[in-house]
Amino acid sequence: MLIFSCVSMSITSMVIIFSTNVWMYSALKFLIGFWRSSIGTCVLVLLTEKVSAEWRFRVGIVEYFTFTMGYMSLPGFAYINRNSSWKTLYLWSSIPAICYSVIAYLFVNESPRVPAAKVVLAMVAFFGACTAYNVFLIYIIELFPTCVRNTTTSLVRQAIVFGCIFCPFLISAGRKNNIFSYGVFGAVIMLSNFTLFCLPETIGIVLCDTMDQQEKKEIALCDAINQEKTGIASV
């Protein structure tokens, strides 16, 4: 989590120099703050877990001291780049995070509490996947008429089984690097979420038996939407 947050913050800081408007700049600044928010907590937890209770207070003070020194170094970066563009300042200030990530990857051991956290998160993800699967099948049943409902439901189940073929390979690759398992699964799920915005709503819609009934219902729905838009425009 620490390395991922540092690398993500650094990459976002580099990408922000390509901002073309204030909205893009604000969105990237939000991402930088989002990645930054977990770094201090992860560092403090890792440090306090590696030392005894006698040194825990001193180590915590040192962590906050170095955090303050990092903030105090920003005016120095600004002074060195005083004749350069703000983009150059962002570029130079993002490089230390990459160096820090390399050092953390080489010398920082994983927290003993992280495996337990991974197990809990895996259970939550599995519960969410099962819920989404059941809801999606019900949605498919409501979306298509009776004459093709069995076929479409079977195709959906076949698509899911086809996707499961790749799971063992991703899990095997994930033993060496989690990005090939958790990363791929998460990316596919996130991309699938965006496609849901293109699907029609089925709440309260009566199920049709034939394709003709389905087409008439869709035409009537489109006409109702157009009339509503026309009424709003006339007002």
Distance from the Cα of residue 41 to its chain's centroid: 20
Closest residue by Cα to residue 32 from 55, 13, 17: 13
Residue 137 exposure: Cα atoms within 13 Å on the Cβ side: 13
Alpha-carbon gap, residue 207 to 137, rounded angstroms: 15
Whether residue 235 has pLDDT greater than 70: no
Q: Is the dihedral of CA 53, 57, 58, 64 positive or negative?
A: positive
- Rounded CA-CA distance 124/221 in Å is 38
Residue with tokens 């996130």: 190
Residue 106 and residue 194: Cα distance in Å, rounded?
A: 37
- Split at pLDDT 50, 70, 90, the class of 121 is confident
For the beta carbon of residue 2, count every other beta carbon within 10 angstroms: 21
Tell me the C-alpha distance between 190 and 114, whole Å.
24
User: Which tokens hold the place of 225?
Assistant: 């939407």
Quote the DSSP letter at residue 111.
P
pLDDT above 70 for 154: yes
Token pair, residue 32, equals: 């930088």
CB contact set of 17 (below 8 Å; sequence gap of 6+): 87, 90, 91
Distance CA(110)–CA(46), nearest Å, equals 8
CB neighbour list of residue 225: distance below 8 Å, 6 or more residues apart: none
In this structure, are residues 145 and 207 in contact, taking their beta carbons and an 8 Å threshold? yes
User: Strands, E, within the chain: which ranges?
Assistant: none
Could you tell me the sign of the dihedral formed by the alpha carbons of 55, 60, 65, 67, in that order? positive
Q: Is the pLDDT of residue 28 over 70?
A: yes
The pLDDT tens digits of the residues spanning 74-111 come to: 788 888 888 888 888 888 888 888 888 888 788 777 66
Which of 42, 47, 70 minimizes the C-alpha distance to 60? 47
Assess whether pLDDT exceeds 60 at residue 234.
Answer: no
Reported as a single tens digit per residue, the pLDDT across 171-201 is 777 777 777 777 888 888 888 888 878 777 7
